[in-house]
Structure 1
């Protein structure tokens, strides 16, 4: 028995107290420049590096609180869909993966549909949650996006999609690929209603989400440095056996090549989004202003100017005195075999009229 370890050390620990456990998430290292940032400062900066301006991935709930006025919005529940229709299994079953993601994330799937004011303008948002199975699009996400489109049409509000996804969910096979067509039809429904559809591309936006709803916006915004594309850069390089240019598939590269309309820093995103919504939204005239009385005499209206002359017109005042008057048109020549009838109407002569007298 060692008296130092069994007797002295416990007594000493009781005197000074046990060492405090330090959380491992107090400091974050910027993946771009390596700068260490305290977690409270990083959250205050909306997860943008204070040293180099690199935009880290922002949790979807933080993004919604950032965009909506006072962080207040109403959520729309996602429709229930079959949990594991294909009974897919790799290392473990798909149903187990879904349950683990739901328990860890607290959400039912990778999409949040919310409605609220953005600078006073009612807006419907469909935001992807990358923390839920990489934001992959399955049946639940497709159904949720359709709900968002129907909600926008119902409230005559613009629809804003914020994708952050790795693409279609492979565990649902062809059923996940079908959602590409369904969300495209949902976007058309919003546009047919005369409502704006705006897309805010965030890191990453890839795969089937890029090939459907992400590239259909009336206006396409993107956050700085976001990866936006269909296939991955390494897959493309291995396929074409060429080195891709620097910055390929980044938002700045897409802006330079006309794939997006603007790259907006995160702190300016809400104001820019609100301004675009105002420009694309036609204000509705109040009903009482649609039944205006018809004014027969508008001479009393301020700013009215008569279009007809009010005094005698001097016909000798010709603005173009040097222009020679054209002669009157000559009568068209008479066609043979055509005669005037008693009522002065022109009719074609019959064969009997043309026959000689016997």
Structure 2
């Protein structure tokens, strides 16, 4: 797809054919609702240039086998701007999705609201927001693909308001368009790549990969299941630790199987959800997404063995809530020495982020399953754990806090760290006896 591709070129990129939806009819006064001089002439020129009579094309199509409602913006029609007739079309497309229980995909390329219709154009954003809310209440997934450019109210509603946000490389993305930014503003902040880094978008996808990627997302997000996800098999040690310190040592071993190995073994394919939608991401500390497990969709939120950042907790909470709305079970993997506790983590709201994840897990609308695969350090680990459905591997531990820190809090000398680990009863078998975990998973039937 070329830069500033037309709406129909964008549709052709993701589907082999589509059926355009019927559009509502609206009587328009000369030069629009404000009587803006030259507005009719501008619309006529835009129509002659693009072959479209409005800035969006709405259709139903199959995307890699999944039926969906598609909305494609025509940037060549007055900069893909939103006016009253645009709002009519968007609202009708959302209503069709709700009536027919179809996911909705927006292929966005817009400069924002239409100046020639003034505040009446701006209020179309409220219509879009209401339509999006109804679709969410109906349990439908909303996916946005950000084309070049995606700015203004279109970014702040159809774009950033979607459940999953994908973007084309190098696309200009930002609330402020290029003509209204402060002088000297860093242009790299207004890119698809910057929005992914800031946690506002999930991934940058190359045009040639977009159809397959979008197809995977649509397939995974439209397969609800009421059954809980089974815990993964253990990939590491099969025997249990003799002492508490042995449990700690094995969980901290660099040779122990890590999160990526567990996800690869559990899922045949998966897609990644990234970012907390609050300005942050924790791609090295929390892996979230949806995957294929034995023919059904399971959502996952998995710690990677590092101290989890606030953005990681908020991303996991976002994942749990989205999975609940779509009726998809969740698997969480616990592996962290604890929450990040540096000054920057405090400034980023570590406490509220952990509290939000506790709340999301406690109020989860679909079954959660947890496996502790390494370190289970304090509340930073417990926030991700499913009440009454947490399991442990033989090479893991779960503790109120790391034994070294527990000894320090109790004013014990370093020589008392190992006895403290025993006293805390943090071994997997201790956790089963205490009722903290349901059981210890074994190795799979094909394990050597």
TM-score band w.r.t. shorter chain: 0.5 to 0.7
**Which residue of structure 2 lines up, in the alignment, with residue 64 of structure 1?**
11
Query: 3-state DSSP class of the match of 2:110?
Result: coil
The answer to whether residue 139 in structure 2 is matched with residue 191 in structure 1 is: no
Q: Does 1:87 align with 2:39?
A: no
2:199: which partner in 1? 258
Contact (CA 8 Å) 1:201, 1:228: kept in 2 or not? Answer: yes
State the shift of 1:128 in Å: 0.5
Task: Give CA-to-partner distance per residue, 1:60-93, whole Å, 9 cap, x none.
Answer: 212212211xx2110013212233121111xxx2
Give the distance between the partners of 2:72 and 2:178, measured in 1 at CA: 25
The answer (yes or no) to whether the contact 2:7–2:56 under 8 Å persists in 1 is no
Give 1:246 shift: 5.7
Contact 2:150 2:173 in 1 (8 A): yes
Are 2:223 and 1:282 aligned?
yes
| Alignment match, 2:336 | none
TM-score by length of 1: 0.60
Identify which of 171, 182, 185 aligns with 1:226. Answer: 171
Partner deviation per Cα, 1:184-220 (whole Å, 9 max, x = no partner): 1011111110010001111001112122222111101
Residues 242-281 of structure 1: CA distance to partner in whole angstroms, max 9, x if unpaired?
A: x444612111111111110111000000111111111211
Taking a change above 3 Å as real, the CA distance of residues 244 and 94 of structure 1, as seen in their structure-2 partners, is closer
- 1:237 Cα deviation from its structure 2 partner: 2.8
Q: 2 CA distance for matches of 1:231 and 1:118?
A: 32
Instruction: Tell me how far apart the structure 2 counterparts of residues 178 and 59 of structure 1 sit (CA, whole Å).
Output: 25
Q: 1:284 to 1:115 in 2, by over 3 A?
A: farther
Q: Which runs of 5+ in 1 are unaligned?
A: 1-45, 48-55, 286-358
* Mapped contact 1:252–1:263 kept (Cα < 8 A): yes
SS of 1:217's equivalent in the other structure is coil
TM-score (norm 2): 0.48
Q: Which residue of 2 aligns with 1:236?
A: 181
- Asked if the contact 1:78/1:140 (under 8 Å) is kept, the reply is no
Give me the whole-angstrom Cα distance separating, in 2, the residues matched to 1:263 and 1:120: 22
Residue 233 of structure 1 deviates from its aligned partner by 4.9
1:139 aligns with one of 79, 84, 102: 84
- After superposition, the CA RMSD in angstroms is 1.7
